[in-house]
Structure 1
Amino acid sequence: MIAVSGRGGLIGWHLRTVLHAEGRPWIDVDLRTTSGPAAVRGLGAVDTAIHVAGISRGSDHDVRDGNVELARRFVSALDAAGARPRRLVYANSGMRGTNPYTEGKSRAAAVLAEAAARWEAEFVDLVIQNVFGEHGTPYHNGVTQTFCHRIARGERPTIDSDDVRTFVHAQDVAEALSGWIDQAELDRRGTTVSVPDLARRITAQAEVYRRGEIPALDSPFERDLFNTYRSYASVLEPVHPLTASTDHRGTFTEIVRAHGGPGQTGVSTTAPGVTRGDHFHRRKVERFVVVQGEARITLRRVLTDERRTIRVSGDRPVAVDMPTLWAHSLTNTGDTPLVTLFWTNELFDPARPDTIQDPA
């Protein structure tokens, strides 16, 4: 069993999606309540404890001492349950500069290290910086989230720094926290760019995507950046109109215009009343286009009840892109067979299908 703090933050949610994809059970530790039966229920069986919760906003005192207090509460909850985890992992995002936040995170690391020594557990102090990913909070979770939020709304990003930083995607951080990869691999997956270049890349992707086209996704960073941008853009524009060219022969409609990289296209038929899908993807970009029949596309953000429903018809084909980390399904709501075209940005790999069953 795994104990996790900080369930509601960017890293905490991405960590839980990775554990969910792996089928590994976990317990959310609510550090607002660390006493009484509810606070420790199930923690006695914990063999891995992952501390993600942190405070990054508030007075100097709140930020510095608050992060230390959260670490103490996490340890206290485990102690109260009689847990003796074999592995204690810390999402240490406070390694840059000297300020109340970094001081608090450093002192929190010391609290956790002492507990790990007492439990005779492996202590993993995972250093993470400049994390970005789907559904982060703009103006709070970092410059990437803020840029994506503003650009998706047609606003110009405010660039007030020429800093060169190394950015890492939240799914990579989650894999490191869960034990899939180590610190060295996490560092290797980081991409170093300047803040102005980051804004330029997101803006360029947005300009292509507003035309209903897929930008060049020629590196994992570009793919992850695009998926992060889509998590903001898809709320505003979930459907991309398609343009048909018609002459005496009939009609031609371009489904996907991708600017480089691999891709795979397929076609499916679905009987009336039947639903296909009910899964989500962690990384891949997927597009649906219904070309015959009537259908309902249902999307649900993983680990939540947040849902979206989109009605589509082959009489008026549109492109609908599936956001990463959203379970999705396609239901034939008509009386005739449904014909749907599918496109993904990567070739299907049976060894790593990136398709996790989850009802929409």
Structure 2
Amino acid sequence: MIAISGRGGLVGWHLRTVLYSEGRSWQDVDLRQTVATTTDLADVETAIHVAGISRGSDHDVREGNVELARRFVAALDAGGARPRRVVYADTGMRGTSPYTEGKARAREVLSAAAARWGADFVDVVIQNVFGEHGTPYHNGVALTFCHRIARGEQPSVDSDDVRTFVHAQDVAEALAGMIDQAELDRRGTRMTVPELAGRITALADVYRRGEIPAFESRFDRDLFNTYRSYAFAVSPVHRLTSAMDERGAFTELVRAHGSAGQTGISTTLPGITRGDHFHRRKIERFVVVQGEARIVLRRVLTDERQVIDVTGEQPVAVDIPTLWAHAITNTGASPLVTAFWTNELFDPARPDTHQETA
């Protein structure tokens, strides 16, 4: 079993979705308690400390990060844990700021505990994490840019710094031991803050037309999926335009710029539901072209839901956000015809389809 702290943060949630998709069990350790609880943690083999404090007074930030590490260790001791692997979500930053000092001292606390337990200590260095459903103005400039652009606002660029940006799913895989530090570093992308703002703006400009932008790299895809998590909250459907003449109508379902993709059509009998799964990386579009249906979406590991009723009489495109369980049910009296598009060819060895009820 795995014990983790920081379940509610950006990295903590992404870590839990990765563990969940891999069928691995974990125990959340609540660090809000000033006294260690007696939760049974004897089966813990890996302890992952993600929780941290980056906002507050100098004292709160410096001492708060140390205290969180101490509480994590105390909770493990109280629960009878003797992990064989202790993992720390570190920033890799060095210096004398309250934050870097606090994180450095927290590292010492965890390293000492690992030595006492006879465990391997793994320091996973992460910087400038971005990903779906982070908190703008808190979890990093990329998320603030996505939040503002999705709402039609201009991103405020006040730095020319060159930074390395890494997606939260990659960070989660590193913390879970699925990839090593070298691979995590390889997946990072270096660019200036103005370049990042320009990249998100370019992706958003194409997507506002209901079209799928070109992806030059994994980074573009992950940045686009991050942007979509904010855009979906603002407008979950894309209206489709039909060209009418004496022959009938023509409706374009997907316009993908330079992207690989796969398109299929399904028929669904009345009352039948398809789906009930989620994707970690894949972009998927639903368009009902005949009949009536209800699309239900639920953010993984939460009760946050969206319900969208659609009809073939007025086709719309619904792009399924990553890390949301989704299902489509035929709510009409006749067979439902739905067109599906994904941005990648189906790979049976790596389907990126994880069963979960919406």
Identity among equivalent pairs (%): 77
Residues in 1 aligned to 2:215 and 2:150: alpha-carbon distance in whole angstroms: 18
Tell me the secondary structure at the aligned position of residue 329 of structure 1.
strand
> Of 220, 227, 230, which aligns to 1:229?
227
Residues in 2 aligned to 1:150 and 1:142: alpha-carbon distance in whole angstroms: 13
Partner of 1:338: 336
Distance 1:69 1:333, change over 3 A: same
Partner of 2:102: 104
Partner of 1:17: 17
Distance 1:160 1:97, change over 3 A: farther
Tell me the secondary structure at the aligned position of residue 232 of structure 1.
helix
Residues 87 and 175 in structure 2, CA contact (< 8 A), matched pair in contact too: yes
Post-superposition shift, 1:34? 5.5
Partner of 1:246: 244
Residues in 1 aligned to 2:123 and 2:47: alpha-carbon distance in whole angstroms: 12
Post-superposition shift, 1:218? 2.6
Map Cα deviations across residues 67-100 of structure 1 (whole Å, 9 max, x no partner): 0000000000111112100000000125165411
Residues in 2 aligned to 1:348 and 1:40: alpha-carbon distance in whole angstroms: 46
Residues 162 and 190 in structure 2, CA contact (< 8 A), matched pair in contact too: yes
Partner of 2:3: 3
Counterpart code for 1:70: L
Post-superposition shift, 1:24? 0.4
> Of 58, 63, 72, which aligns to 2:56?
58
Distance 1:95 1:88, change over 3 A: same
Residues 94 and 101 in structure 1, CA contact (< 8 A), matched pair in contact too: no
Map Cα deviations across residues 277-327 of structure 1 (whole Å, 9 max, x no partner): 000000010000000000000000000001000000000000000000000
Residues in 2 aligned to 1:94 and 1:141: alpha-carbon distance in whole angstroms: 16
> Of 137, 142, 145, which aligns to 2:143?
145
Map Cα deviations across residues 187-231 of structure 1 (whole Å, 9 max, x no partner): 000000100000000001111110000011231000000000000
Tell me the secondary structure at the aligned position of residue 40 of structure 1.
coil
Residues in 1 aligned to 2:221 and 2:158: alpha-carbon distance in whole angstroms: 25
Counterpart code for 1:217: F
Matched, 1:175 2:173: yes
Residues 39 and 78 in structure 2, CA contact (< 8 A), matched pair in contact too: no
Residues 267 and 336 in structure 2, CA contact (< 8 A), matched pair in contact too: yes
Residues 40 and 80 in structure 2, CA contact (< 8 A), matched pair in contact too: no
Gaps of 5+ in 1: none
Residues in 2 aligned to 1:16 and 1:98: alpha-carbon distance in whole angstroms: 32
Residues in 1 aligned to 2:58 and 2:196: alpha-carbon distance in whole angstroms: 29
Map Cα deviations across residues 167-190 of structure 1 (whole Å, 9 max, x no partner): 000000000000100000000000
Partner of 2:212: 214
Counterpart code for 2:33: T
Alignment of 1:253-268 (within 5 A): 253-268=251-266
Gaps of 5+ in 2: none
Residues 34 and 77 in structure 1, CA contact (< 8 A), matched pair in contact too: no
Alignment of 1:1-360 (within 5 A): 1-33=1-33, 35=35, 39-93=37-91, 95=93, 97-360=95-358
Residues 41 and 81 in structure 1, CA contact (< 8 A), matched pair in contact too: yes
Tell me the secondary structure at the aligned position of residue 101 of structure 2.
helix
Residues 292 and 336 in structure 2, CA contact (< 8 A), matched pair in contact too: yes
Residues in 2 aligned to 1:356 and 1:41: alpha-carbon distance in whole angstroms: 29
User: RMSD across aligned C-alpha pairs, in angstroms?
Assistant: 0.9
Residues in 2 aligned to 1:261 and 1:311: alpha-carbon distance in whole angstroms: 28
Counterpart code for 1:55: I
Post-superposition shift, 1:42? 2.7
Post-superposition shift, 1:354? 0.3
Residues in 1 aligned to 2:31 and 2:201: alpha-carbon distance in whole angstroms: 38
Residues in 2 aligned to 1:215 and 1:40: alpha-carbon distance in whole angstroms: 51
Residues in 2 aligned to 1:340 and 1:262: alpha-carbon distance in whole angstroms: 20
Residues in 2 aligned to 1:238 and 1:15: alpha-carbon distance in whole angstroms: 25
Residues 34 and 76 in structure 1, CA contact (< 8 A), matched pair in contact too: no
Residues in 1 aligned to 2:193 and 2:86: alpha-carbon distance in whole angstroms: 33
Tell me the secondary structure at the aligned position of residue 324 of structure 1.
coil
Counterpart code for 2:262: Q
Tell me the secondary structure at the aligned position of residue 42 of structure 2.
helix
Residues in 2 aligned to 1:206 and 1:96: alpha-carbon distance in whole angstroms: 35
Residues in 1 aligned to 2:35 and 2:22: alpha-carbon distance in whole angstroms: 30
Tell me the secondary structure at the aligned position of residue 341 of structure 2.
strand
Q: TM-score, normalised by structure 1?
A: 0.98
- Runs of 4+ with >2 A deviation: none
Residues 95 and 101 in structure 2, CA contact (< 8 A), matched pair in contact too: no
